[in-house]
Amino acid sequence: MIGNMISKIRREQGITKTELANQTNINIGHLTHIEKGERNPSHKALKSICSALDIPYQQLLYTYDKNLSDEQVEYGYIDHISYNKIPAISKVDDYINCPAEFSNASFAYKVPDSSMEPLIKKGSYAFVEINGLVENKAIGLFKLNNTYLVRKLLYKKDKFILKADNKDIKDITINSHDSFQIIGRIYV
């Protein structure tokens, strides 16, 4: 997935592979292998690429060693991953222990509603892996039109659907006019 992200960002910025190779001193053949997902860049190379693309290193590092499924490619999953933004936190409640089985977690998010009950109780903490792949029917943290939601992500008929476990809460179908961002995968 990291190669897909590098390629996407490079193309969005209108930078050719040759230009990126020259700016980073990475052989264009090696850069091609990275973008195709055939090789992962070293951390030094990734830092150089991020510097040349003027984006934060850590955000792309979260995509390291992850692969998009055919279904995720088909649904344009990568178009909803943030690569140049980081979470803005206005208050830290506390530090909490992170269970070993959630070692990829980046932070704990206090669930503000009952949408995922009974699995995730309102007010409990869910462990979020920033830019972690949210597979079909897996739980994630999403930003939809400036609202943060914890939901299951479903791929249905060329659309993303956010589904609550709580039967009293309606499913949300993501439309092309919606501002939709995948923050990361949730572990519970």
Pairing relationship of beta strands 125-130 and 139-144 according to DSSP bridges? unpaired
Determine the 3-state secondary structure of 187 from DSSP: strand
Confidence grade of residue 58 (pLDDT, cut at 50, 70, 90): confident
Tokens 């190669």 — which residue?
3
| pTM, entire model | 0.85
End-to-end CA distance of the chain: 24
Return the CATH number of the domain spanning residue range 100-187: 2.10.109.10
- Model confidence pLDDT, tens digit, residues 121-161: 999 999 999 988 999 999 999 999 999 999 999 998 888 99
Asked whether 108 and 85 are in contact (CB, 8 A), the reply is no
DSSP state of 106: -
Cα–Cα distance between 146 and 9 in angstroms, integer? 23
Residue 85 confidence (pLDDT):
83
Question: Is the CATH number 1.10.260.40 carried by domain 2-67?
Answer: yes
User: Can you give the pLDDT at residue 180?
Assistant: 95
Q: Give the model confidence (pLDDT) of 80-101 as tens digits.
A: 988 888 888 888 888 999 999 9
Task: Give span(s): CATH 1.10.260.40, the chain.
Answer: 2-67
Residues 6 or more apart in contact with residue 116 via CB below 8 angstroms: 139, 150, 151, 164, 165, 166
| SS3 state of residue 126 | strand
Whose tokens are 């089985």? That residue is 101
User: Residue-wise over 58-91: b if at least 16 C-beta within 10 A, else e?
Assistant: ebbbbbeebebeeebeebebbebbbbeeeeeeee
| pLDDT bucket at 169, cuts 50 / 70 / 90 | very high
Q: Residue 131 and residue 113: Cα distance in Å, rounded? A: 22
- Listed in order, the ranges of the chain carrying CATH 2.10.109.10 are 100-187
Compute the radius of gyration of the chain from its Cα atoms. 18
Lookup result for tokens 């029917």: 137
pLDDT at 61: 85
